[in-house]
Amino acid sequence: MRNNKMTMEERQKLYDEIWSEPMTIVSKRYGISDSALRNRCMRSDIPLPQQGHWAKLRAGKTVEKRPLPDQLSEMGRKNIVGHTVSYQKPLDAFTDTELSSTESLFIYSDKTKEIINSLRNTLIAQTQLRDFHPFLEQHKEQIAARKKHEKLETRFANIYNRPKEYYEFTRRNVLKIDVDSARISRAYRILNTLLKQIEKMEGYSNVSNYHMIDGGTIYIDRYTWDFRVSEKSFRAKGASEEIYILSIFFSSPLFPFSERGKKPAESLQFSDKEDLPLESQIGEMIYQLFVRSGFQTQCRELESRERERKWEEQKRKDELKRKYEEEQAKTKVAIEEAHCYQQAQELRAFALAFKEAKKRAEVWDESSEEHYRWLLARADWIDPLIPNTIGLLER
């Protein structure tokens, strides 16, 4: 359980635990108090044993075990990860071959695919706008405040004559909706449906945090998409009225590639069509966003594995290099020791030959004896097999 949220698997595990042992024992296992664990269970729609449950069980009485509900409440959806969007299996369980698949929505579970494909064909914008999304309500209020501010600025050219309400205005970033006020309610209806459905799919939206720059972002699965709404007009030949085309653009600045890292990332654009208004394309928007987010997840995982393999290979090469250099150093020392040993043997042979020559010449005296012993001492000094020292001179 991370950040007070849990996966569906963790929810099932916790449910099994609290119905197998008292809450005080389970809470110690998680390092929290039993009241904190109880609150976490309530937020995650996990039914709790009733008071006296364990006493009745010890007394041999029959107790009711309330089942874990499949349907989550609104609070449960906020605290459970993977209730709607989940993968077939953990990412690290996919093989490289599987992650290279070009099949749309490949990594998602059958349940998630079914939900996304169902929305693709059925999700349509509301005909009437009810229950404004907070960001749309914020946009509506901010645009009205900006217009009022601009009117005051035009009306009072002298800044010293401007009323107090002019200076009370605070400009806040809002969603990027470049649509005339006469037709903006339609854009609101489409965005309201889109943003609320994204939240049901475990995503969320946000307003741009760049200074004085309007814009919106949508978080799908693991990735962020910038989006904006605009309109353009044209007049057909012979027509008396202009026709307005509403469009929604999506782009992801974080994507260096699109499908499996082979093509540059492309922005998505959805516009009114003659036989398909934008209201009927919201399901397709969500489908395409999930398809591309899924491909990116596959691509990123493959790239991560490739980096890991390269890193491991580099580690292996560095270790081999270290061992090679270590062996080289040892070999160099061994060769030097062998050379010293050979010199020691030669000195001993020379000392013996010196002694024999002096004695044959009958000139062996005390100085010859001293020189002979000195030769042997020098041989012992350079011999690596004899660990000795002579005075302050150490080998």
Phi-psi map region of 147: left, alpha, beta (phi>0 left; psi -120 to 50 alpha): alpha
d(CA 223, CA 262) in angstroms, rounded, equals 18
d(CA 160, CA 317) in angstroms, rounded, equals 74
**H or E stretch including 227?**
strand 223-234
Buried b (16+ CB within 10 A) or exposed e, 204-241: ebebbeeeeebbbbbbbbebbbbbbbebeeeeeeeeee
Cβ atoms 173, 214 nearer than 8 A: yes
Cβ atoms 381, 395 nearer than 8 A: yes
C-alpha dist (Å) from residue 310 to 149, 207, 226, 299: 58, 39, 33, 16
Question: Could you write out the DSSP letters of every residue in 46-64?
Answer: ---PPTTHHHHHHTT----
C-alpha dist (Å) from residue 281 to 42, 124, 176, 189: 37, 7, 19, 13
d(CA 152, CA 342) in angstroms, rounded, equals 103
Q: What is the pLDDT of residue 256?
A: 45
d(CA 372, CA 252) in angstroms, rounded, equals 89
Cβ atoms 247, 230 nearer than 8 A: yes
Digitized pLDDT (tens) for each residue of the chain, 395 residues in all: 555 678 888 889 999 999 999 999 999 998 999 899 999 999 999 999 988 899 988 898 888 899 998 888 888 888 888 888 999 998 999 999 999 999 999 999 999 999 999 999 899 998 888 889 999 999 999 999 999 999 998 988 888 888 888 888 889 999 999 999 999 999 999 999 999 999 999 888 999 888 888 999 999 888 889 999 999 988 777 777 888 999 999 987 654 444 444 444 568 999 999 899 999 999 999 999 999 999 989 999 999 999 999 999 999 999 999 999 999 999 999 999 999 999 999 999 999 999 999 989 888 899 999 999 999 999 999 999 987 655 545 54
Identity of the residue numbered 390: I
Helices 282-360 and 366-382: angle between axes, nearest 10 degrees: 170
Q: What is the pLDDT of residue 278?
A: 95
Residue 163's CB is within 10 A of a number of other CB atoms, namely 10
Cβ atoms 367, 324 nearer than 8 A: no
Tokens 């605009």 belong to 230
Distance of CA 178 to the CA centre of its chain: 33
Q: What is the pLDDT of residue 239?
A: 72
CA angle 35, 36, 38 (to 5 degrees): 60
Take residue 165 and report the two structure tokens written for it: 């309400």
- pTM to 2 decimals? 0.74
Cβ atoms 263, 279 nearer than 8 A: no
Tokens 């398909």 belong to 276
